[in-house]
Homo-oligomer: A and B are copies of this chain.
């Protein structure tokens, strides 16, 4: 598995992963009906950088990195990660997150913030904690699960610069 910058043409392979995860409706606050083009804008075109984990031409996962705020908040970046449902349980998310922390430092960021980690996504919460992120906020009932039940979301944060 290699992690490399995503090219425009990769979107055809990233989109099915993005679509499946968003349709599950359990982890991301994106519109499940989002179009392929709008998703590309969010994930590939607008962020400062987008990477893919590739293995023999297959895309196992992906992440984007962007500034979380501008100006006096511009030293904190934000990332989002997606792993293909077919590639779960292989440590892909962990490798992507570690990679993103190196990239963030190289780009001059001091810290990384996740704005919206769904509290019921315990696997992700556990992994981010293991990788040094802390829960710094809890957004009560900020996520609506597919059955319409409200759940909390966490804000997670890690100071990267030594």
Residues of A bordering B, CB below 8 Å: 22, 25, 28-32, 34, 69-76, 110-111, 113, 115-116, 136-146, 153, 155, 157, 159
The answer, among B76, B116, B141, for a CB contact under 8 Å with A142, is B76
The answer, among B30, B73, B136, for a CB contact under 8 Å with A144, is B73
| Chain B nearest Cβ from A125, distance in angstroms | 15
User: Once the chains bind, are B137 and A155 in contact (CB under 8 Å)?
Assistant: yes
The answer, among B71, B136, B141, for a CB contact under 8 Å with A139, is B136
What B residues does A138 contact at CB under 8 A? 136-137
Q: How long is the Cα–Cα vector from A22 to B75 in the complex, in angstroms?
A: 17
The answer, among B110, B111, B116, for a CB contact under 8 Å with A73, is B116
Among residues of B, the one whose C-beta sits closest to the C-beta of A22 is B71
24 A-B contact pairs sorted by A residue (CB < 8 Å):
A28-B72, A29-B69, A29-B70, A29-B71, A29-B74, A31-B74, A32-B71, A32-B72, A34-B71, A69-B116, A72-B144, A72-B145, A72-B146, A73-B143, A73-B144, A76-B142, A110-B141, A111-B141, A113-B139, A136-B140, A137-B139, A137-B155, A139-B157, A140-B159
Among residues of B, the one whose C-beta sits closest to the C-beta of A73 is B29
What B residues does A137 contact at CB under 8 A? 136-139, 155
User: Once the chains bind, are A71 and B31 in contact (CB under 8 Å)?
Assistant: yes
User: Once the chains bind, are A72 and B25 in contact (CB under 8 Å)?
Assistant: yes
Q: How long is the Cα–Cα vector from A26 to B142 in the complex, in angstroms?
A: 28
| Chain B nearest Cβ from A70, distance in angstroms | 5
